[in-house]
Amino acid sequence: MLALIDYRAGNLTSVRKAFAAIGADIATPALPADLAGARGIIVPGVGHFNVTASIDTPWREAIRAAVGAGVPLLGICVGLQFLFDGSEEAPGLPGLGVFGGACRLLRPAGSERLKVPHVGWNTLSRRGDSRILDGIADEAFAYFTHSYAAPIVDGTVAETVHGTGFSSVVERGNVFGAQFHPEKSGDVGLRLLANFVRVTRC
Amino acid sequence: MLTRRLIACLDVRDGRVVKGVNFEGLRDAGDPAELARRYNVEGIDELVILDVTATLEGRRALAQTIRTVARELFIPLCVGGGIRTGADADLIVEAGADKVSLNSAALQTPALITELAGRYGSQAVIVAIDAKRAGDHYAVFTRSATSAAGRDAVEWAREAEARGAGEILLTSIDRDGTRSGFDLDMTAALADAVNIPVIASGGAGTFDHFVDVFVDGRADAALAASVFHFEEHAVLELKRHLARAGVPMRLDKDVDPC
């Protein structure tokens, strides 16, 4: 069973349908203790970083314990941002801290005008080996919709540029994150989800 | 690099596409799911289903259409037409739409924009503006395009953004159905006025009209219906045309099969 954490951060219909389409069995645990039997954990998310405040201390402890035991974790959109120390969108609200640094508002690199939010299809520029991006070409397109973004770190396996560059896919051990929406990114997104499911079956 | 988007609009009544489609190889040209599948294969970036029914039976058929399309297509799906209340939007989102498009209801009850942005996030709320030239400005009309809303399009777009809209879908009433090209001045005026994406609609007739709306109209996305419905491979050929003209487009198949 893969556990989809429902912390009331938007609509999860699309994420559920995408996992169903690749034949994965998804459940929504009601209690932190229900994470104990999970083969993998998915933290979705949309909107403001504030929503992650709903992932309270017992949930955080359960997620940390699972990650510590090697259970694969995938963060999507705000779920990727949650893997970092925090976000300037919600100062004082800590993230999980698997990756160092804080998420920041997307900014122009120079004096050019930059539309924020970043909405639409943009490229994933590969940086190093990755299991979660297996079978996905360098410069493949994915669908984004967000205003804040995570810095480039050691675990950045794909970078995307909107104004400045940011982490569009991160990976460290069995912890993965995608800033874009794999459930809305056509075959590229489904392949990323299938790669995650494969990791959970190892 | 962020690409510009091509969006195909399906006008649906009682669960059927109402504008004619004459692709070869379609079993049923009126089936929205089959048409959506076809566009997806051709590389469409996003789909809009516009419900032109507004009867109760039609709305039930719409929810079924959304469920069918969303079960197999994994690109953004927006649904509009006749959404008056939060409950109307809930039905559509629960069926699988990623975005809802508000038109007359947003004009009548602007707080609905904020309510839905709070519930689903701004990325899920599109405010559709139907406008036409009126002297030195652009006047907003309600969905039927028959009555003036007494609003200036630029000012209303700014208000919609401030209230939480994630995108603006701008339709030129003057150009809609004429195939004479998008209203470039109006599109540019709105694209410059707001910081959220502007989707241009109304008037597409040739591939070069799309080049113009991205280059001179500064649109983030362009929406059309009949241009895509009547020519096979129109989406892919149009994308190649735009890429040759220097407009960034999502073109390649970038993934190995699982």
Domain boundaries, chain A: 2-200
Rounded-to-integer distance, Cα A65 and Cα A59, Å: 10
In this predicted structure, what is the pLDDT of residue B57?
74
Residue B131: beta bridge partners? B140, B172
Res. A18: pLDDT tops 90: yes
The predicted pLDDT at position B89 comes to: 93
> What is the structure's pLDDT at B60?
80
Quick one: pLDDT at residue B22?
A: 61
Q: Which of A17, A119, A194 sits opposite B167 (nearest CB)?
A: A119
Confidence of residue A170 (pLDDT cuts 50, 70, 90): very high
- pLDDT per residue over A176-190, tens digit each? 999 999 999 999 999
To the nearest whole angstrom, how far is the Cα of A65 from the nearest Cα of chain B?
A: 30
Q: Would you tell me how many other CB atoms lie within 10 Å of the CB of residue B14?
A: 16
Q: Is CATH 3.40.50.880 correct for A2-200? A: yes
Place of tokens 């100062």: A91
Residues of chain B with pLDDT under 70: 20-25, 27, 54, 143-145, 230, 253-258
What element of type H or E holds B51? strand B46-51
B254 and A139 within 8 Å at the Cβ level: the answer is yes
In chain B, domain spans: 5-244
A50-54, A127-131, B21-25, B55-59: least confidently modelled range? B21-25
What is the predicted pLDDT for the residue at B258? 53
What integer pLDDT is reported at residue B20 of this predicted model?
A: 58
What's the pLDDT score for residue A5?
95
| Mean pLDDT of all residues belonging to chain A | 95
Q: What residues contact B206, with CB distance under 8 A and at least 6 apart?
A: B179, B181
For residues B189 and B183, is the Cβ–Cβ distance under 8 A? no
pLDDT score, position B143 = 61
Q: Parallel, antiparallel, or unpaired: how do β-strands B198-201 and B167-172 relate?
A: parallel
Beta strand extents in B52-182 (DSSP E only):
77-80, 99-102, 125-134, 137-141, 148-152, 167-172
Domain B5-244 sits in which CATH superfamily?
A: Aldolase class I (3.20.20.70)
**Which among B1, B197, B250 has the least Cβ separation from residue A115?**
B197
CB < 8 Å to B74, chain A:
14, 17-18, 21, 183-187, 189-190
Say whether B166 and A116 touch across the interface (CB within 8 A).
no
Cβ proximity of A176 and A72 under 8 Å: yes
**DSSP 3-state assignment of B60?**
helix
Least confident of A4-18, A156-170, B25-39: B25-39
**Cβ B256–A191 below 8 Å, yes or no?**
yes
Q: What is the pLDDT of residue A150?
A: 98
Give pLDDT tens digits for A67-125: 999 999 999 999 999 999 999 999 999 999 999 999 999 999 998 889 999 999 999 99
Check residue A33 and give its pLDDT. 95
CB contact under 8 A, A121 and B256: no
Annotation says B130 is catalytic: yes
Look at A116 and B71 and tell me if their CB atoms are within 8 Å. Answer: no
Say what the pLDDT of residue B144 is.
Answer: 64
For an interface test with A, give the residue of B250, B251, B252, B256 to mutate (most A CBs within 10 A).
B250
Q: What is the pLDDT of residue B151?
A: 95
Please say if B31 is a catalytic residue: no
Question: What is the predicted ipTM?
Answer: 0.93
Contacts 24+ apart (CB under 8 A), A88-92: A88/A148, A89/A48, A89/A49, A89/A50, A89/A147, A89/A148, A90/A48, A90/A49, A90/A50, A90/A52, A90/A53
Mutate to test the interface with B, among A52, A119, A164, A188 (most CBs of B within 10 A): A119
The encoded tokens of residue A183 equal 């459930």
